[in-house]
Chain A
Amino acid sequence: QVQLVQSETEVKKPGASVKVSCKASGYTFSRYGISWVRQAPGQGLEWMGWVSSYNDDTNYAQKFQGRVTMTTDTSTSTGYMELRGLRSDDTAVYYCARGLRDFEYWGQGTLVTVSS
C-alpha cells in the first residue's frame, strides 16, 4: 500500500534552516512528484510547491521563492523540503502529498516550531 512517512518534529531558532523528508513506498516513485503543504496552528492549508520525481522540475508558491528548495532522491524514494531563514510565522505542520495536483496520499505531517 502507498505510504508517505515524514521525518520527526523539529525545533529551530529564528534564522535557521530546516529540511523535512518524506519517504515514499508502495508505488513507482518516479511516476509521481511530491507536493508540500503547510498548516499553521489552528489555520487552514497552504500549498508551498511541487517537485517532479522524474526530472526535479519544481514550481514554488511566490511566497516561498528564494527561501525554499524541494528535491527528490530516487535511490531512496524520498522527497525533501528545505526552508531557510525561518521566522516565528513558519511554525506549522508541514505535509507532503503525492502528485502534482491529485494529493491522493499524504504524509503524517512534521511539526516545525520556530522559537528563540
Chain B
Amino acid sequence: DVVMTQSPLSLPVTLGQPASISCRSSQSLVHSDRNTYLNWFQQRPGQSPRRLIYQVSNRDSRVPDRFSGSGSGTDFTLKISRVEAEDVGVYYCMQGTHWPWTFGQGTKVEI
C-alpha cells in the first residue's frame, strides 16, 4: 500500500499568518492516465470531512482562495495564505492513484 506521510502532525498557527502542511507518498502518484490523484480534506471538530483540493491543485468552488495546493510526484503541499479562526481542524491528504486509496495521518491545526 502507498504510505502517505504528513508533517507536521500538529501545527500551532497565528491568525493572519501563513501555514503549510506537507504530504509525501511512498511512490509516485502519477496515474497511467497522466493525472495525479491527490486530494486534501479539512475536518472541523464534530463534522464530516470536506474536500478542499483535488488533483493536487484544483480548489473546490466553495473553498476560500487562501487555500492552495501544489506539488508533483511524491511531494505535495497545502498552504493557507492567512489563517482564519474557522480553519481550525484536522487536515488530511489522500491518494486515489494506487489501490487501496490511502490517507495521511492528519495534521491538527490549532490557534
Contact = CB atoms under 8 A, between A and B. Distances in A.
A103 interface: yes
Given A44-B92, A45-B92, A47-B103, A103 B39 contact: yes
- Max chain B Cβ within 10 angstroms of own Cβ: one of A37, A46, A95, A103: A103
Interface residues of A, number: 21
Interface stretch (A26-34, A66-74, A83-91, A106-114): A106-114
Contact of B99 (A59, A102, A107): A59
Nearest to B48: A106
B103 A46 contact: yes
Contacts of B43: 45
Given A44-B92, A45-B92, A45-B106, A101 B100 contact: no
Chain B interface size band reads 20 to 34
Interface in B83-110: 90, 92, 94, 96, 99-106
B51 A103 contact: yes
B49 interface: yes
Given A44-B103, A44-B105, A45-B103, A104 B49 contact: no
B61 to A, nearest CB: 10
B76 interface: no
- Max chain A Cβ within 10 angstroms of own Cβ: one of B48, B50, B54: B48
14 contacts: A37-B49, A45-B41, A45-B94, A49-B100, A61-B100, A95-B48, A101-B96, A102-B54, A102-B96, A104-B54, A106-B48, A106-B50, A107-B48, A108-B48
